[in-house]
A = this chain, B = another copy of it.
């Protein structure tokens, strides 16, 4: 009755994105098994949703191999890729509460060697904030926007800039914000044309999608 792990080692060659480990749904034993296996195989891994209480429970000899960031609950395991020079991705947040999601995106990009640029706390309740950044934002081919609650920032950015817009609805807010479901529905039913969406709080998903796009841009 032992279970085995079947890592998808050639994913990077196949689709350009290496396999990452989604930690929070795994038992402690399975997580340790996977990481030990990676140490032995000398793999490089991105760990996501590795929340602090789980990280703290890892054995010290595994922990010391992880470059851990508590805000984004991500870890880099093993050596990192070289960082490219030009940043082609802007990451915009509506408020400081969206930081953790934005950081998951930037860390995922960094793990793949892609730099990104942060534009923080630009919610539309103070519209001058996003208008002030508009000229700068227009220069990025990919713009990731993280926003919760009413998600109004998605459409405002989508109507202002020509880059690819990837909306990340966040679970910020209470009551009718419904743990991000409202921001998600807003991203999907947007008046601004061509807004793309990923799962609630999925900075990782937004970054992976950006990697698919960037590959085409950098290669062409």
Contact = CB atoms under 8 A, between A and B. Distances in A.
Contacts of A125: 8, 11, 155, 158-159, 190-193
Interface in A163-196: 163-166, 171-178, 180-182, 184-196
Contacts of A185: 176-178, 181-182, 185
A212 interface: yes
A80 interface: no
Contacts of A160: 14-15, 127
Contact of A106 (B1, B100, B162, B184): B1
Interface string A29-68: 1100010000000000000010000000000000000000
Most buried by B among A160, A165, A218: A160
Given A17-B193, A199-B175, A27 B99 contact: yes
A15 B191 CA distance: 13
Given A162-B14, A185-B185, A188-B199, A209 B194 contact: yes
Contacts of A8: 125-126, 129
Give the number of copies in the complex: 8
Contact of A97 (B15, B22, B209): B22
Chain A, interface size category, equals: 35 or more
A194 B211 CA distance: 8
A103 interface: yes
Interface centre among A26, A34, A142 (most CB of B within 10 A): A26
A141 interface: yes
Interface string A130-148: 0000000000011000001
Contacts of A178: 185, 189
A134 to B, nearest CB: 9
B164 A216 contact: yes
A174 B49 contact: yes
